[in-house]
Amino acid sequence: MKTALITGASSGIGLEFAKIFAAAKNNLVLVARSEDKLLALAGELQNKYGIDVKVIAADLSKMDEVQKVFDTCKAGNIQIEYLINNAGFGDFCLFADSDWNKTEQMIDLNIKSLTKMCRLFIPGMVERKSGKVLNVASTAAFQPGPTMAVYFATKSYVLFFSEAIYSELKGTGVNVTCLCPGATESGFMNAAALQESNLFKNKKTATAAEVAAFGYKAMMKNKMTVIHGLLNYIMANAVRFAPRKVVLAISKKVMGNPV
Could you give the 3-state DSSP secondary structure of residue 204? coil
Give the Cα separation of 32 and 57 in Å (integer).
5
Strand order in the sheet with 82-85: 53-57, 27-32, 3-7, 82-85, 131-136, 174-180, 225-227
6 alpha-carbon distance from chain centroid: 9
Give the Cα separation of 125 and 107 in Å (integer).
26
119 alpha-carbon distance from chain centroid: 16
Is 192:12 a contact under the CB 8 Å cutoff? no
Helices (H) and strands (E) in the chain — how many of each? 10, 9
152: which strand partners? none
Those residues whose C-beta lies under 8 Å from the C-beta of residue 122, and which sit 6 or more positions away, are: 83, 131, 133, 165, 169, 174
Active site (annotated) includes residue 233? no
Reported as half-sphere exposure (CB side, CA atoms, 13 A), residue 223 has a value of 16
Nearest CA among 163, 107, 170, 172 for reference residue 135: 163
Nearest CA among 58, 173, 167 for reference residue 116: 58
Question: Which candidate in 151, 166, 216, 233 is catalytic?
Answer: 151
Could you give the 3-state DSSP secondary structure of residue 85? strand
Catalytic annotation, residues: 151
